[in-house]
């Protein structure tokens, strides 16, 4: 259901703003932009009206790390996969996303980047694509996780400069900063206004500090595939986890599905990093939004067979997790129920903080006049009833 009236008014809702929650509030959209917010009704006779029915009116959810959903993965190598993932996650409140790759050959990576540009032009019925996030191939083999070890390699200037010279869609690249050439890689990314992020790494505090100074200001899926306290020749070293806590300004992202990070971890991260330095991510694979059962992690052609149960993807022998099947609404719900976070701050972690990390907070992440009309309406249980992307109603449940 795609509706884009010239003017759209949403009234009788609890509007979540950066400062407070406005009860009985109204919001006016003109074209693709928010043009007015009010504590009462807004006089807009020609506008199409939506009665929020006392539900919450929230900024749209921004997912800065996502691989798939609805039975598709971005690595499938089809435009349809991109579009179906965008539609699937819109049902759960996501209005903007950064499609994320997995470690692969350069040839396959270039194919996916080409497909992104095609899909972006066709994407009219789901969450908006804001840019690509490349995860790998420059990661530590000891922290590969579900990444294909055949393609893991050190940063190669000839390779990454060629890739970045071809595409302007790349907005973030996650890598292990301790690898040979990784510091220069981070500096190069920053020179191109691309975010370097620490991921799949065995770095220690001293290496993280140097990386942070050179531009690696963000930690990818915090706690997952990264070092904690470790020993080298008998001496203890702080890992990436401790480093991210110690470097106050470093931002982190968390898979708040309640499984990758159970309640005590969610509480600890919130207590130390706070909502302005912590973003919620789904890191979802293709089984997000699908029923439990067998699935595939990564490309449909050569991915890893997994089983989805207990709200997470697992290896077939159940020896390890193999991916998230979270949706954005679940992340918000868990931060409230498992970590005791107030609704407004859980929303900040799903909206304003991701926007700030990715440098799009001038247009997205909060409900303010002049910003993009990316809006979600949900009830007390964070069950989404309406999703609006840049003024278009893309989902009405």
Q: What is the pLDDT of residues 65-102, one digit of tens each?
A: 999 999 999 999 999 999 999 999 999 999 999 999 99
The pLDDT value recorded for residue 145 is 86
pLDDT digits (tens, 9 = 90+) for 347-394: 999 999 999 999 999 999 999 999 999 999 999 999 999 999 999 999
- For 163, the 3-state DSSP assignment is helix
Average pLDDT over the chain reads 96
Give the closest residue to 197 by CA, choosing from 363, 361, 364, 358.
358
**188-198 pLDDT tens trace:** 999 999 999 99
Residues 147 and 136: beta-carbon distance below 8 Å:
yes
Q: Is the pLDDT of residue 2 over 80?
A: no
pLDDT of residue 4: 72
- Domain ranges for the chain, please list them: 7-57+380-396, 61-364
Residue 346 has pLDDT above 80, yes or no: yes
pLDDT tens-digit readout, 237-256: 999 999 999 999 999 999 99
Which has the higher per-residue pLDDT, 263 or 304? 263
> pLDDT tens, 143-188?
998 899 999 999 999 999 999 999 999 999 999 999 999 999 999 9
Q: Is the pTM of this model over 0.85?
A: yes
| pLDDT, position 3 | 67
The answer to whether 224 touches 201, Cβ cutoff 8 Å, is no
pLDDT exceeds 80 at position 10 = yes
Q: In the structure, what pLDDT confidence band is assigned to residue 5 with cuts at 50, 70 and 90? A: confident
Q: What is the pLDDT, as a whole number, of residue 146?
A: 81
Over 90: is that where the pLDDT of 230 sits? Answer: yes
Is the confidence at residue 1, as pLDDT, over 80? no
Q: Which of 113-127, 310-324, 329-343 has the lowest mean pLDDT?
A: 310-324
Q: Does domain 7-57+380-396 fall into CATH 2.30.40.10?
A: yes
Q: Would you state the CATH architecture of domain 61-364?
A: Alpha-Beta Barrel (3.20)
Q: What CA dihedral angle connects 235, 253, 209 and 207, to 10 degrees?
A: 50
Give the pLDDT band (50/70/90) at residue 19: confident
Distance CA 240, CA 223 (A): 8
Helix runs in 167-239, H state only? 182-191, 205-213
Q: How many CB atoms lie within 10 A of CB 95?
A: 32
Task: Decide if pLDDT at 294 tops 90.
Answer: yes
By percentage, how much of the chain surpasses pLDDT 90?
Answer: 92
Q: Each residue of 296-308: pLDDT tens digit?
A: 999 998 888 999 9
pLDDT at 93: 98
């Amino acid at each position: 259901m795609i509706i884009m009236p010239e003017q759209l008014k949403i009234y009788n809702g609890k509007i979540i703003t950066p400062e407070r929650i406005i009860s009985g509030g109204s919001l006016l959209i003109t074209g693709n932009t928010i043009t007015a917010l009010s504590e009462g009704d807004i006089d807009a006779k020609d506008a199409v009206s939506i009665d929020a029915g006392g539900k919450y009116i929230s900024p749209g959810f921004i997912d800065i790390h996502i691989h798939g959903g609805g039975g598709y993965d971005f690595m499938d190598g089809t435009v349809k996969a991109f579009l179906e993932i965008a539609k699937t996650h819109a049902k759960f409140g996501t209005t903007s996303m950064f499609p994320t790759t997995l470690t692969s050959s350069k040839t396959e990576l270039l194919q996916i980047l080409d497909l992104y540009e095609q899909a972006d032009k066709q994407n009219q019925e789901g969450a908006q694509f804001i840019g690509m996030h490349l995860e790998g191939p420059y990661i530590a083999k000891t922290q590969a996780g579900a990444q294909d070890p055949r393609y893991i390699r050190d940063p190669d200037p000839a390779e990454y400069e060629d890739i970045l010279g071809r595409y302007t869609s790349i907005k973030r690249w996650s890598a292990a900063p301790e690898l040979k050439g990784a510091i220069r890689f981070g500096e190069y990314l920053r020179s191109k206004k691309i975010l370097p992020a620490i991921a799949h790494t065995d770095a220690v505090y001293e290496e993280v500090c140097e990386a942070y100074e050179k531009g690696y200001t963000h930690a990818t899926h915090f706690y997952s595939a990264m070092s904690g306290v470790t020993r080298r020749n008998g001496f203890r070293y702080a890992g990436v986890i401790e480093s991210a806590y110690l470097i106050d300004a470093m931002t982190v992202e968390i898979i708040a599905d309640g499984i990758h990070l159970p309640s005590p971890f969610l509480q600890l991260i919130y207590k130390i990093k706070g909502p302005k330095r912590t973003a919620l991510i789904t890191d979802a694979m293709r089984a997000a939004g699908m029923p439990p059962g067998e699935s595939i992690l990564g490309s449909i052609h050569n991915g890893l067979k997994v089983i989805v149960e207990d709200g997470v993807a697992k290896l077939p022998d159940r020896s390890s997790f193999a991916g998230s099947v979270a949706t954005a609404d679940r992340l918000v719900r868990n931060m409230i129920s498992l970590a005791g976070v107030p609704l407004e701050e859980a929303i900040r972690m799903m909206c304003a903080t991701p926007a700030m990390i990715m440098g799009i907070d001038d247009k997205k992440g909060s409900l303010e006049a002049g910003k993009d009309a990316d809006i979600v309406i949900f009830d007390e249980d964070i069950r989404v009833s309406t999703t609006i992307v840049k003024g278009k109603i893309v989902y009405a449940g």
